[in-house]
Amino acid sequence: MKISFFATTALFITATEAFHVGHGGRRTTSLNILTGTESAAERVAKIMSNKPQENEAFDKLVKKNFPGAISNKELETKVANILETRGLTPANTLLCTSLCCDELARSLEDDLNKVYGHNFNLGGLSGFPFAGNTGFGAMSAHVPDGGYCLLVHGPHVGITKDGVIGKVERSGIALVDNCCGSAIAASNYLKGITDGGAKITTKLQQFSDFQQGAVQELILPFGKRLNEAENRMKELPYALYDSQDILVRDIISSGSKGIKSGLALLSGIQINTSPETLDYFHPLRFDYYDEIGVVVEDLLPSLMVSAPVTSVILNALDQGQ
Ligand SMILES: [Zn+2]
């Protein structure tokens, strides 16, 4: 389909030019240390060449359990291209994340680090934005002058090769263990209250486990929802997402004066899988904020297009065209 590729490439380049906004400021900050002139899409294509191949049967299994989920390969490719058409490039964009502490949550972050440079970390256990307003304010000040922020946020959940939700295989560890451990511990705490008559024992004053105390406080409103869920482990990340989504958007709203040229908020559920398969992501929000902190575009539909121009470009890059 070479004709199709060239036609769509021409369309993509035209779209890039049409949406591109010039930026005068410095090109890097100490946090955003990438050099080179490769586009975000070219960087993603390189990263994906070292990932496991797509597995059709597992892809179906994940999507059956998490309708709306797409592989990280598809996610990262589309995000890089969509943002590039809005003027967000590796040189002018600071990556900011709010993801769980678990090393499995680093998989998506590591990929994006290779595209946009080191990230500012807002997140903590379960993916809550524990760095809060202060963290967001500091992060905003580190965005290159005239540049942008890409904020990626979400709780995570594991799924094993045979489809058990809430668990995942980990490299070098025989035990197929919980994922997300923090969320499941908070869920068990909540179940003890709703089903077993246990007392609320929030230990926010206990600083040695401050974040988990907060997760357990923040999950309290979801007792009924989780008890009535067909699959508690499947519902858990979505319940946490709803809580985190309010917090993240409130933090952006409170710090909107610090936004420079614009901010893209990509949020959803990270779905971690075994080392042999691609990770997935269920995007639930992809909002573009302008320089005064107003959401001016919903980019989510662009992520959900099944046959994007961008994948044609990626395939061509994969083949060295
Ligand atoms: Zn976790």
Tens digit of pLDDT for each residue in 270-282?
A: 999 999 999 999 9
**pLDDT confidence tier of residue 258, bands split at 50, 70 and 90:** very high
Are the CB atoms for 118 and 32 separated by under 8 Å?
yes
Percent of the chain clearing pLDDT 90 (strictly above) = 70
What mean pLDDT comes out for the span 195-222? 84
Taking residue 194's Cβ as centre, other Cβ atoms within 10 Å add up to 14
**Within 13 Å of residue 192, how many CA atoms lie on the same side as its CB?**
11
3-state DSSP helix/strand/coil % of the chain, to nearest 5 = 50, 20, 35
* Comparison of pLDDT for 93 and 310, the residue scoring more: 93
Quote the ligand 1 centre to 180 CA distance (angstroms).
Answer: 4
Quote the ligand 1 centre to 243 CA distance (angstroms).
Answer: 15
Helix (H) or strand (E) holding 151: strand 148-153
Tens-digit pLDDT profile for residues 95-109: 999 999 999 999 999
Are the CB atoms for 133 and 251 separated by under 8 Å?
yes
Alpha-carbon distance 80 to 185, whole Å?
A: 35
Quote the ligand 1 centre to 124 CA distance (angstroms).
Answer: 9
Quote the ligand 1 centre to 203 CA distance (angstroms).
Answer: 19
| pLDDT value, residue 310 | 44
Instruction: Reply yes or no on whether the pLDDT at 27 is more than 50.
Output: no
Q: Which residues of 215-251 are buried (b: 16+ CB within 10 A; e: fewer)?
A: bbebbeebbeebeeeeebbbbbbbbbbebbbebbbeb
Percent of the chain clearing pLDDT 70 (strictly above) = 83
Q: Which of 70, 71, 105, 126 is nearest to 241 (CA)?
A: 126
| pLDDT value, residue 19 | 31
**pLDDT confidence tier of residue 203, bands split at 50, 70 and 90:** low
Least confident of 62-76, 129-143, 162-176, 242-256: 162-176
Helix (H) or strand (E) holding 93: strand 93-98
* Comparison of pLDDT for 1 and 137, the residue scoring more: 137
Quote the ligand 1 centre to 311 CA distance (angstroms).
Answer: 30
Are the CB atoms for 237 and 269 separated by under 8 Å?
yes
Average pLDDT score, the chain: 86
Instruction: Reply yes or no on whether the pLDDT at 309 is more than 70.
Output: no
In sequence order, the 6+-apart residues with CB closer than 8 A to the CB of 223 are: 190, 193, 194
| pLDDT value, residue 34 | 57
Quote the ligand 1 centre to 100 CA distance (angstroms).
Answer: 5
| pLDDT value, residue 197 | 81
Are the CB atoms for 112 and 152 separated by under 8 Å?
yes
Tens-digit pLDDT profile for residues 161-195: 999 999 999 988 888 989 998 999 899 989 998 99
Quote the ligand 1 centre to 104 CA distance (angstroms).
Answer: 8
| pLDDT value, residue 216 | 93
Alpha-carbon distance 143 to 31, whole Å?
A: 9
* Comparison of pLDDT for 273 and 14, the residue scoring more: 273
E-strand stretches of 159-212:
167-170, 173-178
| pLDDT value, residue 199 | 80
User: Which residues line ion ligand 1, judged by CB < 5 Å?
Assistant: 100, 102, 180, 182
What mean pLDDT comes out for the span 251-260? 97
